[in-house]
Amino acid sequence: MNEGNAGALRVRPLFTFVFSPPKGFDHRKAESEPAGQVDQQRINELNNAELHVLGEAFVRSNRLTRKPLSSFSMGSSGKAEATSAEAYLVTHKGGAELIEVWVELPEQEFNSQKFLDLLKPDSEISIVKEIYRFLPYLGEESPLFTLIGISGQNADVDDFIENHKSELVKLLYLDPSPVPFKRSFVEGEINRNFCIREGGASFMSNSAALSIMFMSANRSANFNYADLQSRCTLPFFIVLEILLLEREILRKYYERLVRGSLSINGLIGLKQEILDGLEEYYGIIEKATQFSAPLMDFGENALGINDLYDSVIDRLDAVTFDITTNYARNSNVLSFWLTVLFGSLDTGLLVESVASIVYTHNLFGVAAWTALSTALTFLMIFLLLYRRIR
C-alpha cells in the first residue's frame, strides 16, 4: 500500500526551483519572453521574511534585489499539472544571480510518488521540463536546487512525518530508485529538523529542501495557506537563498582567481573585494537566529560552500604571494635600471671632464669620448647585474 495515499490527507504543494546559470543571466533572451502578471503578495511576503531573517541593516543596504521576470500557465500540453508559475531574478551586488520559479499547485491528496514525478526532469508530467519549455534562456546545464513545501490543516505534523517518513526522505533526495533507503538513514534525516515553529518541520539535502507546515483543527477557523507558508517555509527559503547566493559568489571569486593575468593593482583590488564579500557573509552568520544558525552550518557542508571557501582562501594566499613577488620583482627591475642609468651617466660625466682637458679645442673629441664611455659603462653594468635579477 502506498503510504502517500493513506488517510487521504489533503495538502497544498509549493515547489520552488532555483536555477544558477553558470554563464550568468542572459537579459536579452529573457526580455524577449512575455512578462505576464506576477503576484505582488508573494514579493511582499518574501521581503517580510527577508527582514525577519537577515535583519534591517542588510535589507537597507540593498545588496539583494528581487525582480519579477514573468508568469505563465503550465499544463497546456496535457502532460504537466495544470497550474501557474512565476519567475524571479535574484541578484546580489557581489555578482551572483539566481533565477527562481515558484509553482503553487492546487490542494490535493498527499501522494509522494506523484510529487516526485512532477519534480523529475525526465517524467511525463515533469514541471521542470515545462519550465525549460517556457523559459528557454535557462539552459538545462544550469544547476538546480528544489524547495518542496507541503502545507495543510487538520493534521498533526509529527504524526504525518511518522507515517510518511520514508517517502519524505525520498522526496528530500529526489530519489527515483524503487529500492528504499535504510531505516537508520531515514531516521537520521528525519531527526535533522531545522524548524523551531510549532506544527512545522524543515529538512535539507545537497540538492533539495523540504518544508512541512500543518495547522491543527482547533485553530483553523480562518485558515490561509499563505499565512501558513510565512511561518516556516519562507524564512527557511530565505536562508537557503543566502546559502545558494554565497556559493555562486565563491564560485565567481574562484574563477577570477584561477583566471589570473591581472596587474598588481588588479590583484590588490580583487583581494579586497573578496575579503569584503566574505566579511559580509560571515557577518550575516554571526547575526543568525536560533532558527537559521544550525541550518547555515549544515547547508555550508551540504552545498560544498566550506570546500569552495577553502579553495578561495588558498588561491587568495597564492594571489597575496604573487602580489608580494611581483612588487619585489618590479622594485628590483626599477633599481636595476636606475643603477645602470646613473652609473653610466656618472662615468660619462667623469670622462667628459677629463676629455675636456685633453681636447680643449676639440668639442667633437670630447663628445665622442663621453658618448663611448657612457655606452660602454651602461653595457658593463647591465651585463653584471642582469644575471642577478633574472
* Concatenated DSSP letters of 335-348: HHHHHHHHHHHHHH
Say what the pLDDT of residue 296 is: 86
Gap between the Cα atoms of 93 and 239, Å rounded: 17
Say what the pLDDT of residue 10 is: 87
Q: Please give the mean pLDDT across all residues of the chain.
A: 77
- Per-residue pLDDT, averaged over 139-164, amounts to 88
C-alpha distance from residue 184 to each of 166, 169, 171, 189, 302 (Å): 11, 12, 17, 9, 19
- Per-residue pLDDT, averaged over 86-93, amounts to 89
Q: How confident is the model at residue 58 (pLDDT cuts 50, 70, 90)?
A: confident
Gap between the Cα atoms of 318 and 325, Å rounded: 10
pLDDT in tens, 338-369: 565 555 556 655 555 655 555 555 555 556 65
C-alpha distance across the termini of the chain, in Å = 78
Q: What is the pTM of this model?
A: 0.77
Asked whether 82 and 74 are in contact (CB, 8 A), the reply is: yes
Domain boundaries, the chain: 3-245, 247-325, 328-389
Lowest mean pLDDT among 173-177, 221-225, 294-298: 221-225
Instruction: Please tell me which residue, 223 or 192, carries the higher pLDDT value.
Output: 192
**pLDDT exceeds 50 at position 4:** no
**261 Rama sector, left if φ>0, alpha if ψ -120 to 50, beta otherwise:** left
**pLDDT exceeds 60 at position 253:** yes
Gap between the Cα atoms of 198 and 158, Å rounded: 10
Say what the pLDDT of residue 263 is: 65
- Of the chain, the percentage scoring pLDDT greater than 70 comes to 65
Asked whether 11 and 107 are in contact (CB, 8 A), the reply is: yes
Say what the pLDDT of residue 171 is: 95
